[in-house]
Amino acid sequence: MKKIGFIGLGAMGNHMARNLTKKGFAVTVYDLNPEAVQSLVNAGAKAAESCAAAAQNADIVITVLPADRHMKAVMMNDNGVFQGASPGTTIIDMTTLSPHTSIEVAAEAQKRGLFFLDAPVSGGTIGAEKGTLTIMVGGEKQLFEQVRDVLEAMGKTIYHVGGIGIGETVKMVNQILVACNMLAISEAFVLGVKLGADPDTLLNVIKVSAGNSFLIEHRLPNYVFPGDFEQPGFALDLLRKDVGIAMDSAREEKVAISLTSIVYQMLTQASSAGFGNMDMSSVIKVVESSAGV
């Protein structure tokens, strides 16, 4: 059975590492938060003292960290993965971050005889818990096939989408669409309701019309209509981070993403107003407030 070093046991990683343990993989975990480590030890994993120690003797190292700088530090700092891992080890980074960071770190990994896949996920904490995540994998196809069993322990829909960085690119495209769609829903519904339309009637009609979307079906009934954003399915600050990655990439590639830029500013406004840790659909509160409702 493959030996796995798992680093980053937060809202997503905790469930993902747990599912690997349940499927019988030998999992050694590390996180800065000792409580998160202990919860995995209780579930049958081994604890490591550092990122390097988690990577030692591992066939595969998985990282699920907040953002680019955390992933780079975990890989390249003293006592990091690169120090602990033996040549031939495969690193699967499942953090949502910039495709440029994946390419940069993969090149450093290659110099040390390590293999690298970027494999961000979609499906939220519920998907992580149920093992039903969508996983978008960039890197060599053959390497992907070698670790497919590991990915299948965490996800249900698993795609090899291209070379290194393309996993993160596909995720970025998804996040742009999520953010723009959430703002479009917010503006359209706030205007409609202010004009006197009943929100439930609006939802029922849009659900069977061309304007329908996944977010309309999930965010309106579960968060917006009850007005309860406290338990985030996906936190607003995470979406803001993801749209920020898209803005950086667009600047680098000289692609004008005007609509996305406006959406980024509105997410920033919502974050400053205190909604950062709430569900991303709470951005509608900014639209409501500027509409005076």
x/- map, 66-105, ligand NAD, by CB under 6 A: xx--x--xx--------------------xx---------
Residue 247: left if φ>0, alpha if ψ -120 to 50, beta else—which one?
alpha
Give yes or no for residue 10 binding ligand NAD (CB under 6 A): yes
- At its nearest, how many Å lie between ligand NAD and the CB of residue 73? 5
Strand partners, 138: 118, 162
Beta strands in the chain (DSSP E): 3-7, 26-30, 46-47, 60-63, 90-93, 115-118, 121-122, 133-138, 155-162
Nearer to ligand NAD, 36 or 164 (CB): 36
Answer for which of 11, 184, 203, 247 binds ligand NAD (CB under 6 A) is: 11
Using the contact rule CB under 6 A, the part of the chain among 59-67, 176-184, 200-208, 250-258 near ligand NAD is 59-67
Q: Which residue is nearest to ligand NAD (CB)?
A: 10
Residue 152: left if φ>0, alpha if ψ -120 to 50, beta else—which one?
alpha
Nearer to ligand NAD, 135 or 185 (CB): 135
Q: Look at the block and give the residue holding tokens 């667009």.
A: 250
Strand partners, 4: 27, 60
Give yes or no for residue 32 binding ligand NAD (CB under 6 A): yes
171 in catalytic set: yes
Q: Cα–Cα distance between 45 and 11 in angstroms, integer?
A: 17
Length of the chain: 293
Give yes or no for residue 205 binding ligand NAD (CB under 6 A): no
Give yes or no for residue 125 binding ligand NAD (CB under 6 A): yes
Give yes or no for residue 7 binding ligand NAD (CB under 6 A): yes
- At its nearest, how many Å lie between ligand NAD and the CB of residue 3? 19
Determine which one of 111, 171, 194, 254 is catalytic.
171
* Cβ atoms of residues 36 and 65 within 8 Å: no
Q: Cα–Cα distance between 54 and 84 in angstroms, integer?
A: 8
Give me the active site residues, please.
Answer: 171
Q: Which residues bind ligand NAD (CB under 6 A)?
A: 7-13, 30-33, 36, 51, 64-67, 70, 73-74, 95-96, 121-122, 124-125, 234, 238
